[in-house]
Copies of this chain bind each other. A is one copy, B any other.
Amino acid sequence: MNEHEKNMTEMGQRARAAFSQLSAATSEQKAMALTAAASQLRESQSEILAANAKDMDNGRTNGLSDAMLDRLMIDAQRLDAIASAVEQVAALPDPVGVIIDRTERPNGLIMERVRVPLGVIGIIYESRPNVTADAAALALRSGNAVILRGGSEAIESNRAIHKAMVAGVATVGLPEHAIQLVQTTDRSAVGAMLKASGLIDIIIPRGGKSLVARVQEEARVPVLAHLDGINHTYIGKAADPAKAEAIAVNAKMRRTGVCGAMETLLIDQDYPAPGPLIRALIEAGCEVRGDDAIMELDPRTVSAEMEDWDTEYLAPIVSVRMVGGVDEALAHIAEHGSHHTDVVVTEDEALANQFIQRADSAIVMWNASSQFADGGEFGLGAEIGISTGRLHARGPVALEGLTTYKWVVRGTGQVRP
Q: Which residues of A contact B (CB under 8 A)?
A: 20, 23-24, 97, 103, 105, 109, 111, 116, 118-119, 201-202, 222, 240, 242-243, 246-247, 249-251, 254, 334, 352, 354, 356-358, 360-369, 371-372, 377-379, 390-392, 394-396, 404-416
Contact = CB atoms under 8 A, between A and B. Distances in A.
Closest 5 CB pairs of A and B: A368-B411, A250-B415, A243-B413, A365-B409, A371-B416
Given A363-B406, A363-B409, A368-B109, A357 B394 contact: no
B416 A372 contact: yes
A361 B408 CA distance: 9
16 contacts: A23-B360, A24-B354, A97-B357, A103-B378, A103-B379, A105-B377, A109-B372, A118-B390, A222-B391, A254-B416, A363-B406, A365-B410, A366-B411, A368-B409, A372-B414, A391-B392
Residue of A103, A119, A352, A391 ringed by the most chain B CB atoms within 10 A: A391
B394 A404 contact: yes
Contact of A367 (B364, B377, B390, B413): B413
Contact of A202 (B354, B391, B394): B391
A142 B234 CA distance: 28
Nearest to A120: B390
Contact of A411 (B97, B202, B365): B365
Nearest to A96: B357
Residue of A118, A202, A414 ringed by the most chain B CB atoms within 10 A: A414
A147 B360 CA distance: 20
A131 to B, nearest CB: 22
A347 B378 CA distance: 44
A377 B391 CA distance: 26
Stoichiometry (number of copies): 2
A255 to B, nearest CB: 9
A364 B409 contact: yes
A193 B342 CA distance: 30
B23 A369 contact: no
A394 B407 contact: yes
A171 to B, nearest CB: 23
A239 to B, nearest CB: 10
A254 B415 contact: yes
A369 B118 contact: no
Contact of A246 (B201, B366, B367, B413): B413
Given A118-B390, A119-B360, A202-B391, 14 more contacts: A24-B354, A24-B358, A109-B372, A118-B391, A249-B415, A364-B408, A364-B409, A367-B410, A367-B412, A372-B414, A391-B391, A392-B404, A394-B404, A395-B407
Given A365-B409, A395-B406, A20 B360 contact: yes
A357 B413 contact: no
B334 A20 contact: yes
B358 A414 contact: no
B367 A411 contact: yes
A378 B407 contact: yes
A405 B367 CA distance: 20
A201 B396 CA distance: 20
Contacts of A408: 356, 364-366
A268 B103 CA distance: 31
Nearest to A244: B413
Contacts of A246: 413, 415
A17 B23 CA distance: 43
Contacts of A362: 406-407
A109 B116 CA distance: 30
